[in-house]
Structure 1
């Protein structure tokens, strides 16, 4: 199984989170965002796998901007659709796990967006484009293809971050203050034990349940009921990956079979494969615990505005 470790500059690999796998396997490195883009971008990452063909499973995730440095392929969605990759592609928060197949070598630089970042940078209602491949050139214009050409000439994750951040800074737009409050409420709610939907509605003063539902769809790609299922399944997957007994993990579900079905729906894995044959990228994202949607405090540089 691939091993995930945290490193610092002193470790010789740079700071961040690094996936170490067997020789010939994937190499994956994350760096959490710092500075003025932190409210919008959760993580930057660089993925490299020099195999002739790369296959894997992608759990439901936050919104992503992906720059295909090498390789091209298809995403296979649960409804049977296949969509081809784009040189720069955007993926909204999904509703179920998907599989991918790429003719390698496969190198990808990615930007994981917080929900506020999805609204500020992509500006598409997430639920309307969920489980689709969006052409980045259609959203960002031809300059994003010029940026891709620059990224393909670079070697390190740090160099790529330095190249992409000015582009993102120029693209960002402010969001209403009330939407920040909603995103913060969802973040805190996602870490709660009960994930009671009414509790989420009650946590957003000044908004009706209908407004909360609409904004959850636009920012997070699903209604509060859907988010409850997704967060519960991802937390269960994390606990199973760490070795907890399936019978204990199943407590928040109607029974153990329900838990297994939900975990497989959102991660593409069963409890057994989470422990023994887990996709290396999924292992890295679970180990990193990337469930949180906003920093604890929103920096003033986000520049929110009133409704």
Structure 2
């Protein structure tokens, strides 16, 4: 029993005393520079499209019967039924000329009623044509609905009301995120090979000093490679002089020398000087 406790104590000692091995990722897994509150974004669903669909009747929708149509149908049915009952019941035995005129008049009235009923069935088609925009006012209203729906399909909103998501004018989000993934790999490679000159091109001067000091703590080349990485925009804002973006990276690292893997959970904060033409986006903060 004493021997078992001795072995158990030795295992605990070795476990706590052993150094923690981790991939030597860019920034050393620490936070530097500026920091902002971030939140994921979602695509805003167009509300106007549903409103327009509700207002537009479809071809499969049945026409609503009016009181006039209902009364006309009942009257026509009663007249037709009365004539048949009278004819087969012998009410016209010994028919006279005036009786023929009365019958003809009744048939004429019934014919007019049926014709009116057939005409009322074409009313829904007229409504559909009106909603399609025959009049200038209806055409303008339909165009406004379509424009608002198209605008909603391309807009994004933050899941946190306190986090802004205002994209700078002319900003191509998909192209920017594709480029940021490549830059993430490029900067990690420069960090491995201690190429501080290349890193300087991507970061602000203040952030560069902190990163250079952190890299000096590592000896020689590192062997951390990015297995895969994805990028998501989690904050965006701008004013007359400055634009700001925050990108959240997710993926996985691998250190070939140490044989360890780690998750990528970094957030980069970038800024761009809008007062200078063709100014680059520079990393001003890292949240590990």
TM-score by length of 2: 0.20
Question: Larger relative CO (CA 8 A, sep 6+): 1 or 2?
Answer: 2
Q: Which one has the largest radius of gyration?
A: 2
TM-score by length of 1: 0.19
